[in-house]
Amino acid sequence: MKVAMWSGPRNLSTAMMYSFAQRADFSVLDEPFYGPYLRLTGLDHPMRDVVLEDRTEDAVAVEQSLINSIPDVKTHAYHKHMCQHMIDGIPRGFMSDCVNVFLIRHPARVVASFAKGYPELTADDIGFDAQAELFDHVLALGQSPVVIDSADIRDDPEGMLRALCETIGLDFDPSMLSWPAGPKPYDGVWAPHWYTSLHATTGFAGPEGPLPELMGHLEELVDQTMPAFQKFEAKKISQIVKL
């Protein structure tokens, strides 16, 4: 099985990668299209030169690596994808061979968190519209994409991971609930800029507090991206479990 986890930034996506990496039957891959995305867009992201030096493959070569990405010693592969990376020029053929899961988080939390490290962010940077479009693409492939909310995971890590595993046809593995502190060998080279706080953790953080209060440009970003976020809410695993 190849699990493609589709997320925006600052959305528990790295913690989920760490969670799946603890399973003996999974290999993991961190943001495989980041290099091609930066080359195609020319965006000046933090550590851009370091990322481009490390991720030299073009988009087609990355796709081929995803199609053939399960090492002989593993049964499954987990791909951590950023939705905003899937611009024109990034191939999508590999998605038909994946179990596609969509990880969501309230836009106010994403904007508040991302703005701390990248204050010039735009709606395209946080990927909500891209996530909604990718969801429709998976539907067009004839699949039933899975939706899971990071807030639900933080409220009940074991319960939601059990539900996710059951939904995609895996046995739950308790090792998914914790990981060793510090940098990981499967981290992207951008980890020193983005993952520092996560490296101090050994498991999922507890429930989040009230939504952050934002003003000006950041408040406008939340208003702009809420419709895409709301597209997913009724489709979350936690809502389906309640039915």
Strand partners of residue 30: 80
pLDDT digits (tens, 9 = 90+) for 11-26: 999 999 999 999 999 9
pLDDT digits (tens, 9 = 90+) for 81-121: 999 999 999 999 999 999 999 999 999 999 998 888 777 88
Question: DSSP secondary structure string, 183-221?
Answer: --TTS-TTHHHHSHHHHT-SB------SPPP--HHHHHH
- In three-state secondary structure terms, 12 is coil
d(CA 213, CA 35): 33
Domain 2-236: give its CATH code.
Answer: 3.40.50
What is the value of pTM for the model shown? 0.94
Write down the domain spans for the chain: 2-236
Torsion over CA of 161, 166, 170 and 172, rounded to 10 degrees? 40
d(CA 113, CA 168): 29
Please list the helix, strand and coil fractions of the chain in percent, rounded to the nearest 5, in that order. 50, 15, 35
